[in-house]
Structure 1
Amino acid sequence: MKNIFIIASAFIGIIVGAGFASGQEILQYFTSFGKMGIVGAIVAAVIFAYIGMILMRLGSRLQSENHQEVINKISGRFLGKIIDYILIFVLLGIGIVMIAGSGSILNQQFGLPTMTGTILISILVIITAMTNVDRVVKVIAGLTPLLILSVIFLFLYSMFTMDVSFSSLEGTALSHDSAAGHWLISAINYVSLATVMGASMTLVMGGDEKNEKIASWGGFFGGLGVGILVIINHLTIFANVEAVGSLDMPALGIAANISNMIGGLYAIILFAMVYSSAVSMFFSFGTRFFEPKTPKFKMFVTISVVVGFITSFFGFTELVSFFYPLFGYLGMILIVILIITPFRFQLFKKKQPN
């Protein structure tokens, strides 16, 4: 039971990141559909539980040490190559979004120019990518439980203090731009996006667990946990949509409306999560092409971050609106493959330990 809990917690930590914590992606994927967004969030929770179970089970069965090995195994080399390119594209795209997000956090909470945050995080990412990335990411990853507690706190506060009904907020919620044209497509797209972003790490983590049953249940409960967090985050933003719907960082706006101190603390946590995500994305993007810490790797990462910095001027909300649905649609190839994979499990023989 202990190992199941550890795996479930780790899976939640992989999926629940800076984009989720900002509230912007939840606003576009769920809250913009009003009450039907609640149904969409429930559907997403069910799919998350299934996908989490399959990813962990696959990783455990094949004892994977990298995602490419598993992807090629379940999809064939041709489709595997396409999915690999999609994952590479996602790494760069999410890295760019994170740079833009850093500027929005400092601007919204502290009134600093947007460029202050984007310059700061770009410099930090370049420096970190050239030194000890793992240590920094592991330290900041320790903030994930604190982030989850913050999300739950904002939910409880919102539910106990809201003085209007969800029905009266429906019109305001529906007036916001959506990630997709239909609530069901939006929910599937969101799960697809999260899966593409977290598949690599999840498969490798599953490979560390020899017991396939434990890995499967850990992935199931982890996916269910992510789904529950999506539901409560959606309800939180829905309850406050009139006040924070127009902000780049709706969740930060809710925290700031409670008190400046809580808003400041949430901003620090959110900035650290954005920093961690940006480092992970650009570092992984660089290692896909060059050996870490080599001169070519350092130059490549530096150029990539500079490109990300320039692209970030399009704006955080605009970049989320463009990149996230696109990545979600591209990732549906992987989702379809994962859905049919259980019916082909007999084709994959479990690796025997050396």
Structure 2
Amino acid sequence: MPTLELTHASSNWFLAGLSYVGFCMLWLAAFVTALGRTARSQREAAAGGLLGGVAFSLACMIVGLGLLANIEGVAGTEIPMLFLAGEISPVLAAGISVMILIGIYTTAIPLLWTVSSRFFEDRTPGFRYSTLVLAGAGILIGLNLPFSQMVNIVYVINGYVGVLLLVMMLVSTGRRIWSRRREESAAAV
């Protein structure tokens, strides 16, 4: 591996791992919060969170091990998982390509809507123009920046913002617990 030119998310493994945790926090926080509201009980929400976290971690480890086992083949490729799928079967690679395009679309559209809706009311001319300008900027960036570099920049920035969000959530939860305990102590006296 030391002889291969690999794209790195950070200068060391700890910061790269922290960035990935933050990325997952940032992108999944709203979804998981909305999903948690549909749970019938706190126990069900906790069990779902635990099982989902374990399943997600196992999937990440399988993908990571698959990439490491084929590091010489995937080094320097823009989409390593697509390369691996192509090694297995061209039909599988075609299916993965469609999945990637759908994934990009279903990620980009809600994010684009979220940004535009922060500045303009939905379905107004300002909303439409801002959406077109942002989409155009995204297309220009996407056409001029290699996919792996773009993903590396976006994921790392999102990761560190997500770490900040995680710290703020932990501080807020800690304050709430501390406040509740002080109130209980004061009531007991």
Given the two structures, how large is their TM-score scaled by the length of structure 1?
0.47
Q: In 1, are the aligned partners of 2:20 and 2:156 still within 8 Å (CA)? A: yes
**What amino acid does structure 1 have at the position aligned with 2:130?**
F
The alpha-carbon deviation at position 320 of structure 1 amounts to: 1.9
Q: CA 1:340–1:213 in 2, change beyond 3 Å: closer, same or farther?
A: farther
Contact 1:172 1:241 in 2 (8 A): no
User: Structure 2: how far apart are the matches of 1:344 and 1:211?
Assistant: 24
Aligned partner of 2:120 in structure 1 is: 290
Whichever of the two has the greater Rg, that structure is 2
Deviations 1:297-346 (A, max 9, x none): 22211111001111221221111222221221222211212334443444
1:192 aligns with 22
Q: Percent identity?
A: 24
Q: 1 CA distance for matches of 2:145 and 2:40?
A: 45
1:127 corresponds to: none
From 126, 133, 140, the counterpart of 1:303: 133
| 1:202 counterpart = 2:60 | no
> What is the deviation of 1:255?
0.7
**Which structure is richer in relative contact order (CA contacts within 8 A, separation 6 or more)?**
2
Partner residue, 1:331: 162
- Render the CA deviation track for 1:189-227: whole Å, top value 9, x for unaligned: 101012111212222222333522221221222122221
State the alpha-carbon separation in 1 of the partners of residues 55 and 176 from structure 2.
25
Cα distance in 2 between the residues matched to 1:266 and 1:245? 19
Amino acid at match of 1:338: M
Measure the CA separation in 2 of the matches of 1:314 and 1:251.
Answer: 20
Give me the whole-angstrom Cα distance separating, in 2, the residues matched to 1:225 and 1:345. Answer: 30
Relative distance call for 1:220 and 1:342 in structure 2 (3 A) is farther
Mapped partners of 2:159, 2:17: distance in 1: 10
Segments of 5+ residues of structure 1 without an aligned counterpart are 1-169, 349-354
Q: Map 1:10-89 onto structure 2 (within 5 A).
A: none
1:243 pairs, out of 64, 73, 77, with 73
Shift of 1:287: 2.0
Pairs within 5 Å for 1:87-126: none
What residue number does 1:267 align with?
A: 97
String of CA shifts for 1:147-204, please: whole Å, max 9, x gaps.
Answer: xxxxxxxxxxxxxxxxxxxxxxx4456x413111111121111010121112122222
Per the alignment, residue 276 of structure 1 pairs with 106
Query: Which residue of 151, 174, 177 maps to 1:343?
Result: 174
Give the 3-state SS of the residue equivalent to 1:288 in structure 2. Answer: helix
Query: Would you say the 8 A contact 1:172–1:242 is kept in 2?
Result: no
Q: What residue in structure 1 maps to residue 183 of structure 2?
A: none
Q: Which runs of 5+ in 2 are unaligned?
A: 181-189
Which whole-Å deviations, capped at 9, do the CAs of 1:227-268 have from their partners, x for residues lacking one?
111111101111111112211100001111122112111111
1:316 aligned residue (133, 143, 147): 147
Q: 1:234 aligns with which of 61, 64, 67?
A: 64
Matched AA of 2:77: L
Separation in 1 of the partners of 2:176 and 2:148? 41
Contact 1:290 1:296 in 2 (8 A): yes
Which residue pairs with 1:28 in the alignment?
none
SS at match of 2:98: helix
How many residues align? The count is: 178
SS in structure 1 opposite 2:119? coil
For 1:273-297, what per-residue CA distance to the aligned partner results, in whole angstroms no more than 9, with x for missing partners? 1111111211222222223223322
Task: Give 1:151's aligned residue.
Answer: none
1:256–1:262: 8 Å Cα contact kept in structure 2?
yes
Q: Distance in 2 between matches of 1:210 and 1:344?
A: 26
